[in-house]
Structure 1
């Protein structure tokens, strides 16, 4: 499947279809919530695995307009800083972007999580090894994730995330992952 054919349906109508099983109630601070258009359904799901810890997760975290506290706790623990075993609350806007982008890729494969929450110590360590790590990374606020889908290119995943219009999307070709966050809408190639 080419990138063009995989993304052929990414239109305003396609985004509506991708989240037809969900409806978003946007917080006032999430001004770009238009990317998560209202639908008629009632669930949101997130599927991931972590190659570093061997953990897998497949959880429904939102039903009929409400986030499920226990599911969010599961996501927070899954996306923890595994190097220091520190957990931080992951911003639900980031979780929604991840779920919507996954729906848009039309993939049943779970995301591979490369990085979720990063403690300041972990971020500083990674920054000392790579120029691509921001000093004030949104990972330290629980507002970003670095993800990969084995059956989609990083460009297909990035296009899907950008279609959500909800935050930053970066492609890292050398490391084969896509960064998604709920910050200012922007895009870049790392």
Structure 2
């Protein structure tokens, strides 16, 4: 599992950082089953996770009990509650394994230590945050202007690794549509 993270870090930075072994030593491998929660609302987010295998959903539950998905993450991506992790405050999100997952996790303390002592790690983190922010803003701005059918087309075009991995109810939760609408729209594509 660690080799996958080594390749990922080297790929983002364009080279292996001098202290790569030190960085990798701060990660702990773990396995999670389908349906396992890595974080629940109200808990303090103590870890950031690098996904070696599996699919992870980050979502909230509104006052009516409806699930709204913020994002799905798959292999070679990072997942955490960014705000809760950085500030060590209770989370407003859930992080759930949609598939069995192989993960590498790093604690908040180790993460902060690596950002402070390994400049390349801090640079990588900044790049990941920028991409995440840009993707979120693009998605929100784009989806609000699209019809349901165009939202589903957008999802298939921009999230091809998820197309055959998620049931209609999860795609609906991500797109702000009902599961019945997604099922009906799939038949039109």
Name the TM tier (shorter chain): under 0.3
User: Normalising to structure 1: TM-score of the pair?
Assistant: 0.25
Q: TM-score, normalised by structure 2?
A: 0.25
